[in-house]
Amino acid sequence: MDVRDKLWLWGHPAGSHNGRHGVQGESRITPVEAACYLGIPNLIVVNYGNSGPFPPFDQFALPMRSLKRVVWSIVGAAGQTDAALREEVFKLAARMPNITGLMMDDFFHDPEDEEKGPLGALSRAELQAVRERLRLPERTLDLWVVLYQHMLDLPVEEYLDLCDKVTFWTWKAEALRDLGSNFDRLEKLAPRQGKLLGCYMWDYGARQPMPLHLMKQQCEFALDLLRQRWIEGIIFLASCICDLGLDTVEWARGWISEVGGTVLPA
């Protein structure tokens, strides 16, 4: 198995970040186009508010059948979810054999938000109900969740216990200086779960371009963890900025081409 097999692209419908998060320019690239451009075989599809995708998902998902693996969100950006949307995702997964998991984005309540709310977008009972539906006739889906570095002190263990994969993100690029120590904290918090490291190609927390030296730093750190089998994958975010001429995107494309064929230790 090589490095490329462990790479994932975080996907939103085309144009989802146009005019948001300080992003400049008009992106038109689709998730599958972006995956092909970067040379990434695996895709995470995440609902992004008014940008969709909207059920029924079949037409939007059709080109994704060409990819190796797909994970589809049952909790979208900003923690948006409802029972009807989750039901549509389960129906799609039953029809689309390369869907291997379900993603819960922005699952935990951000303590910096002024409006208080439940810690999780779903209750533990609702999560348990989701888990009971992960076993399909031909395969069993994995349950994925997002965790940000600034949430490591929250009492999230009882939720993580019901998840199979934790994707770990550093919201502001300036905090990448502590990535090593924060990952150690994550390992202690969730020793059983598989882990994937999220690599932003834009500094969404600061609403500005990701410094190229920090882009390189996080990718090299992730590759080292991958080689040591501390993580199961690397996620690049997001598809909907991949046609804006960003130096981070172009560097990532070259880096993936360079390291993608590297065979990982068994």
Helix (H) or strand (E) holding 249: helix 247-259
Q: What are phi and psi of 166, to 5 degrees?
A: -115, 125
Q: What is the pLDDT of residues 189-230, one digit of tens each?
A: 999 999 999 999 999 999 999 999 999 999 999 999 999 999
Q: What is the pLDDT of residues 36-47, one digit of tens each?
A: 999 999 999 999
Do residues 29 and 14 lie in contact, with contact meaning Cβ atoms separated by under 8 Å?
yes
Average pLDDT score, the chain: 96
Q: What is the pLDDT of residues 94-114, one digit of tens each?
A: 999 999 999 999 999 865 665
Instruction: Please report, for the chain, the start and end positions of each structural domain, with discontinuous segments joined by +.
Output: 3-259
What pLDDT, on a 0 to 100 scale, did the predictor assign at position 113? Answer: 66
Q: What is the pLDDT of residues 181-198, one digit of tens each?
A: 999 999 999 999 999 999
DSSP conformation letters of 143-172: EEEEEEGGGTTS--HHHHTT-SEEEEE-SS
The one-letter amino acid code at 245 reads G
Do residues 73 and 46 lie in contact, with contact meaning Cβ atoms separated by under 8 Å?
yes
d(CA 34, CA 236): 11
Question: For residue 151, how far is the Cα from the chain centroid?
Answer: 16
d(CA 44, CA 130): 18
The one-letter amino acid code at 165 reads K
d(CA 248, CA 137): 41
Q: What is the pLDDT of residues 41-66, one digit of tens each?
A: 999 999 999 999 999 999 999 999 99
d(CA 224, CA 237): 19
d(CA 10, CA 89): 17
Helix (H) or strand (E) holding 212: helix 212-227
What CATH code is assigned to 3-259?
3.20.20.80
Parallel, antiparallel, or unpaired for β 165-169 and 142-148? parallel
What is residue 120's DSSP assignment? Answer: B
